[in-house]
Structure 1
Amino acid sequence: MSILGTSVTNVTATDADDPVYGNSAKLVYSILEGQPYFSIEPETAIIKTALPNMDREAKEEYLVVIQAKDMGGHSGGLSGTTTLTVTLTDVNDNPPKFAQSLYHFSVPEDVVLGTAIGRVKANDQDVGENAQSSYDIIDGDGTALFEITSDAQAQDGIIRLRKPLDFETKKSYTLKVEAANVHVDPRFSGRGPFKDTATVKIVVEDADEPPVFSSPTYLLEVHENAALNSVIGQVTARDPDITSSPIRFSIDRHTDLERQFNINADDGKITLATPLDRELSVWHNITIIATEIRNHSQISRVPVAIKVLDVNDNAPEFASEYEAFLCENGKPGQVIQTVSAMDKDDPKNGHYFLYSLLPEMVNNPNFTIKKNEDNSLSILAKHNGFNRQKQEVYLLPIIISDSGNPPLSSTSTLTIRVCGCSSDGVVQSCNVEAYVLPIGLSMGALIAILACIILLLVIVVLFVTLRRHKNEPLIIKDDEDVRENIIRYDDEGGGEEDTEAFDIATLQNPDGINGFLPRKDIKPDLQFMPRQGLAPVPNGVDVDEFINVRLHEADNDPTAPPYDSIQIYGYEGRGSVAGSLSSLESTTSDSDQNFDYLSDWGPRFKRLGELYSVGESDKET
C-alpha cells in the first residue's frame, strides 16, 4: 500500500577501467526485469516503486534484474547484472470475515456452567497481529445466558454458558456475534469498518432433571407440648421435565439420628415422632430428600430448620442452694439473705416471680420476706435474741410462682443457721460442735476419722492372721487330709573332702555297717535312741535286696512323718563283669569289646520299677 515513488533500495556497481580515460568507467543502470512495479534512476541506481498501492495479499515477493553498463550506456559498452528480491510487508488493510453467516449449536439443559457450547471463527487475510480479532455478543435473546471469549492461539471465539438452561422454559436462543480487529491502522480506517458479524442459533435439548423444591430452605415452628403425630409443616417438590415423574419424600436419617420426626412419602407432610423439650434443644435441623419414582438416581435435598416454641412447663426454683446465717446478736429487720429464682422456661416477656410463705407460716414469729425490684427476695429477721443453744437451724419454706399461662409454682426451703458473730456482725461459729471441739472439727469429720481407724485395724488383724497361717508347721495332723509332698534337697556338698554333708559310703558299699542315720527333713517331737544297725550284707547282695532292706528300715522308722517321701539311694553295685566302660582303660581303640553284660541289667531294672511302683501302707517309693 506504499505510494508511487517510494524508495526501495539502491545498488552499486564497480568498473576496473580508468575513469579518467574516456567513458570506459562511466556506468548507466537500467531494469531488465521487474516492470511495471519498480523503476531505477540510471545514474544513482535508486530503486523506487513504479505502481501505487501494491497488495501483499495479491503478490508478496518480486524479483528485479538490474543491469549496469559502461561507456555511458552506448553500444559497445560492457555490462553486468544483479537480481534484487523485494518482499512486501503486511499492513492491516483487510477486515475479518466470518466463514459463514449462520452457526447452529445444540446443548442439553443440564450442562454445567462454564461449558464450551461451540466455536465461531472470522478469517483475516492479514498476518501476525494485524490478523488478531476480538469477539463479542452484541445482540440476541441469550445475552444474559451466554458469553463469548477469544482464543488468541486459534483466532476463534468460544461460546460458553453463564446461567442454567431450562428446556421447559425456553427451547432456543439467537445471538449476534461480532469479530473486530484488535490493532487498527489509522491510515486505512477510511476504507470501512474492520469488523464482521454472524448469527448464532442455540437449541436447548431436554434432559432428565432432579426434582425441584418449592423453596431453597424451610423454616418450621412447633410448640414443645405438641402431640405425637401432629403435622409440623410440609415441603413440596416437582419434576421439571415435560414427562413429569411422581416424587417420594424421605428424611435423611443422618440428620435425625434420634428419629424425632417423620414425613409422609407422598405429600411431604412432616409429623412429630417423639416429644420435644425446648429446654433440651431449641433447634432441630434435618434434611428432606425428594426422589423421582421413575428414576431413583434423580434426587434433590433441602434443609429444614425446626424451631421449638416455649411452653410454661417448668416451675421456678431457687437459682442455687442457699444457706443463710443469722447472728445471735442480730437486730430486728436485718436482711439475713437475698435469694433469686430461675425458670428453665423462656417466656416472651421475660420472667416475673411471685414469692410467698406457706399459709401456715404467714404469721411466722421469726422471719418475714420482702420482694425486691430486681425480681429477687430478701429474708428479714423479725426480732433479736436468737440462741443457737436452744435452736440452731430454722427451715423457711418459700413458694415461688411464675407469670406463665397457666402459672406454675414450687416450694423451696431456705436453711437458716444461727451463728455466733462478732460485734460488727462477722460470723465466727455456726454449730454446736464449735463449743465441744475447739479444734474446729465437725461431727462428720470425726466419723470419717473413726472409720479410717477401724479400717486400719481390720487390715492389721487380717495381716497377722495370714502370717500366722503361713508359719504353721509342715507336719499334717491326723484329722487333716493326707497329701503327697515332695521334699527337695539342693545340698550338693563340698566335694570329696566335705564330711559334714552326709555319708554315702554305706549306700555305696553294701558290705559296710548299716548304721543309724538321723532324718534331716523333720524334727521329731520325741528323741529315739539309734536303732541297731542291720547285719552286714554279704558281698553278693543284689540291688533289689539292698532296696528292700532300706525300704524296710524306712517303714519301721518311728521318726518318719505320716506322709509320702522320696528315698534316694546312691548304690552303684559292686562292679561289672565287663569292667570299666571308659575308653581310658584301653590303650588301643581297635580292640573288640563284649557288650553282653548290658543284658544282665534288664531284669534288675524291671524289678527296680516294681519296687518303685508298689508301696507299703500309705508310703510309696
Structure 2
Amino acid sequence: MPYKFVLAIDPDDGDNGTVVYSISPENPFYTINSSTGKIRTSGVVLDRESSNPKDTLHMRTIIVSAVDIGRPPLRSSVSTTVYVNLLDLNDNDPTFLNLPFVAEVPEGLPSGSSVFKIQVDDPDEEENGMVTMALLVGMPRLDFYLNSTTGVLYSTATLDREQIGQYHLRIVAYDKGQKPRTSTSTLTITVLDANDETPTFFPKVYNVSLQESVPRDHVVAHLNCFDNDAGLNAELSYFITDGNQDGKFSVGFRNGVVRTVVALDRETLAAYKLVIEAIDNGPAGSRRTGTATVFVEVLDVNDNRPIFLQNSYETSILENVPIGTSILQLELGLRGQRRAADQGLA
C-alpha cells in the first residue's frame, strides 16, 4: 500500500531538535515510524463500507503527535490530522433486501400487472455499486417479466390458479464492476384462489330403482360433485330444490348422500324426479351452483289386499241360463284392482 510521510520541524540542535512521532490516540489500522514519520497500514483489513462508526472514523483519520527528546522533552503545541481517502474496491456482493420471499397475488390478475418489487443493495461506489437484475428460471414456467433496473416484476399472462397455483422464480443480481459480483435468491409466487369454477356433478343424471318397502334412512344415491377451486370456494352444500314436494327424501348437506326420510308407497307415487343443487361457499354474490337429476323408480311389493267397492251384491238370473253366462261384474277399489292384476285375478 502507498505510504504517507508527516514532517515536524524543531530548530533546536541535537536531542533538543530530534523529533519522535506517534499516533495518538492509537489507531488499529495504521502505524507510524517514530523517527521518519512514515505512516503504513497495520495489516488490519480496511473496509470502506464498514457499518461500525468508530472503525470508519479510525480508517479515515489519523491523528499524529510529535515530541522532541530533549531535557525536558517538548511536545508540539498541536497535533496534525491525516485524512485518508479510501478508494472503493468491488468487494461486496449485491444483497437482496426482501428475498427470499413468498408473494401472494390474486387469481385472474391480468397480463402486464405489477406483481412484486425486488429490492437490492450494493454498498460499493459507482459502477461497483450499480446493480442489474435478471430472471434465471421460472418453474413450472415463466409467466413474468422483470425490469432489470427497477426490480419490478410484471405478469405476462393471466394467472389461473387451477392451472398453476405456485411459481418458483430464481433471481440473479450482478454489479457493473470490472469483475462483476453476483448474488442469487428465490421468489415464490402463490396464486390466491378466486371463485371462478362451477361445481360439477359426475354423472349429471342418476337412475335409481327402489322397492317401496325400503326402510327409513335408506341410501338412495351417493352424489359425486367436485369444484376445482380451493378453500371455502370449493366447499359444497347440497339441497333438493325440486321433485320432493311430499318430503320423502333428504340429501346430506355436506356429503351429498340422498336418503329416504319416510316409507315409500308405489300406489301413491311410483316415480320421482329429484333436482339436486350443489352450491359452493364462496363470497356472497359470487357463489356458483351445479345441478344433478336423480330419477327414482319405486318398485312394487305385495303390501295391499284386494278390496271390494261394496260389502254385498244382488243380481237376478233366469233359471234356465246356460252354463258360463255372466251374471255379475264385481268391482275392486284401485288398490284392489292393482293387487288382483298382480295375482292374475282381474
Range into which the TM-score falls when normalised by the shorter chain: 0.5 to 0.7
- The superposition leaves residues 507-532 of structure 1 with CA deviations (integer Å, 9 ceiling, x where unpaired) of xxxxxxxxxxxxxxxxxxxxxxxxxx
Measured against aligned partners, the alpha-carbon deviations of 1:35-88 in whole angstroms (never above 9, x if no partner) come to: xxxxxxxxxxxxxxxxxxxxxxxxxxxxxxxxxxxxxxxxxxxxxxxxxxxxxx
Q: 1:205, 1:383 → 2: CA distance?
A: 95
Q: Matches of 2:179 and 2:295 in 1, distance apart?
A: 67
- Number of the residue aligned with 1:267: 150
Q: CA deviation at 1:233?
A: 1.3
Matched, 1:384 2:265: yes
Does the 8 A contact of 1:325 with 1:419 survive in 2? no
Q: CA deviation at 1:420?
A: 9.2
Kindly tell me: are residues 333 and 257 of structure 1, through their superposed partners in 2, closer, same or farther at Cα, counting changes over 3 Å? Answer: closer
3-state SS of paired residue (2:126): coil
TM-score (norm 1): 0.31
Counterpart of 1:304 (choices 162, 165, 187) is 187
- AA aligned to 1:292 is D
Secondary structure of the 2:42 match is strand
1:376-430 residue CA offsets vs partner (Å, 9 max, x unmatched): 34243873338xxx98xx7644221122121101112346567799x9xxxxxxx
Judging changes above 3 Å, is the alpha-carbon distance between structure 1 residues 172 and 341 closer, same or farther for their aligned structure 2 residues? Answer: same
The structure 2 residue matched to 1:313, chosen from 168, 171, 196, is: 196
8 Å contact kept, 1:212–1:240: no
**1:378 is paired with a residue of what secondary structure?**
strand
Taking the aligned partners of 1:383 and 1:420, their CA distance within structure 2 comes to 10
Is residue 399 of structure 1 aligned with residue 290 of structure 2?
no
Residue 291 of structure 2 aligns with an amino acid whose one-letter code is T
Q: Provide the alpha-carbon RMSD of the alignment.
A: 4.3
Q: Which residue does 1:345 correspond to in 2?
A: 229
Aligned counterparts of 2:213 and 2:110: Cα–Cα separation in 1? 55
The 3-state SS of whatever aligns with 1:210 is coil
Compared CA separation, residues 295 and 413, structure 1 to 2 (3 A): farther
> CA offset at residue 236 of structure 1?
1.1
Partner of 1:105: 43
Q: Is contact 2:161-2:193 (8 Å) kept?
A: yes
Q: How does 1:59-138 map to 2 (within 5 A)?
A: 104-107=42-45
- Deviation at 1:347? 3.0
Residues 1:258 and 2:141 aligned together: yes
Report the secondary structure of 2:221's partner residue: strand
Contact 2:208–2:294 (CA under 8 A) maintained in structure 1:
no
Q: What's the counterpart of residue 240 of structure 2?
A: 356
Question: What is the aligned partner in structure 1 of residue 93 from structure 2?
Answer: 210
Is the aligned partner of 1:285 residue 2:223? no
Structure possessing the higher relative contact order (Cα contacts under 8 Å, 6 or more residues apart): 2
How much identity, in percent, do the aligned residues show?
A: 18
Q: Deviations over 1:555-611 (max 9, x none)?
A: xxxxxxxxxxxxxxxxxxxxxxxxxxxxxxxxxxxxxxxxxxxxxxxxxxxxxxxxx
The one-letter code sitting in structure 1 at the alignment partner of 2:276 is I
How far, CA to CA, are the matches of 2:296 and 2:201 in structure 1? 15
Does residue 1:238 correspond to 2:121, yes or no?
Answer: yes
Identify, as 1 or 2, the structure richer in strand: 2
The residue that corresponds to 1:477 in the other structure is none
CA spacing shift, 1:328–1:256, aligned 2, 3 Å? closer
Higher helix share: 1
Unaligned runs of 5+ in 2: 1-32, 34-39, 60-85, 304-346
Q: Equivalents in 2 of 1:340, 1:304: separation in Å?
A: 38
C-alpha contact 2:110 2:159 (8 A) present in aligned 1: no
| Cα distance in structure 2, aligned partners of 1:372 and 1:307 | 34
Return closer, same or farther for 1:216/1:205 CA change in 2, 3 Å cut-off.
farther
Question: Structure 1 counterpart of 2:281, which letter?
Answer: S
* Superimposed CA distance per residue, residues 529-561 of structure 1 (whole angstroms, 9 cap, x where no aligned partner): xxxxxxxxxxxxxxxxxxxxxxxxxxxxxxxxx
Which has more radius of gyration? 1
Q: Which residue of structure 2 aligns with residue 537 of structure 1?
A: none
Deviation track 1:4-56 (CA, whole Å, cap 9, x = no partner) reads xxxxxxxxxxxxxxxxxxxxxxxxxxxxxxxxxxxxxxxxxxxxxxxxxxxxx
Contact 2:105 / 2:190 at 8 angstroms: preserved in 1? yes
Partner of 1:3: none
For 1:220, which of 103, 106, 114 is the aligned residue? 103
- Supply the AA of the counterpart residue of 1:229: G
In the superposition, relative to structure 1, how do residues 375 and 325 fare at CA in structure 2: closer, same or farther (>3 Å)? closer
CA shift for structure 1 position 341: 4.1
Cα distance in 2 for partners of 1:234, 1:277 equals 21
Q: Matched residue pairs, number? A: 230
C-alpha distance in structure 1 between counterparts of 2:135 and 2:295, whole Å:
52
Q: Is the 8 A contact 1:107 1:205 kept in 2?
A: no
Contact 2:143 2:155 in 1 (8 A): yes
Quick one: structure 1 residues 306 and 362, their matched pair in 2 at CA, closer, same or farther if it must change by over 3 Å? same
1:408 partnered with 2:346: no
List alignment gaps of at least 5 residues for structure 1.
Answer: 1-99, 110-164, 175-203, 424-621
For the 8 Å contact 1:167–1:206, the answer to whether it is kept is no
One-letter code of the match for 2:151? G
Contact persistence 1:312–1:347 (CA under 8 A): no
Match of 1:488 in 2: none
Q: After TM superposition, give the deviation of residue 166 of structure 1 in Å.
A: 4.4
Q: 1:329 to 1:302 in 2, by over 3 A?
A: same
The amino acid that maps onto 1:207 is L
**2: CA distance, partners of 1:239 / 1:227:** 33
Q: CA deviation at 1:304?
A: 0.7
Classify 1:247/1:207 alpha carbon distance in 2 versus 1 (closer, same or farther; 3 Å). same
Give the drift of 1:277: 2.6
Match of 1:372 in 2: 252
Give the deviation of 1:332 after TM superposition: 7.7
Sort the Cα spacing of 1:331 and 1:256 in 2 relative to 1 into closer, same or farther, 3 A: closer
For residue 162 of structure 2, what is the amino acid of its counterpart? E
Shift of 1:370: 1.9
2:211 aligned to which of 321, 328, 331 = 328
Q: Give, in whole Å, the separation in 2 of the partners of 1:404 and 1:378.
A: 24
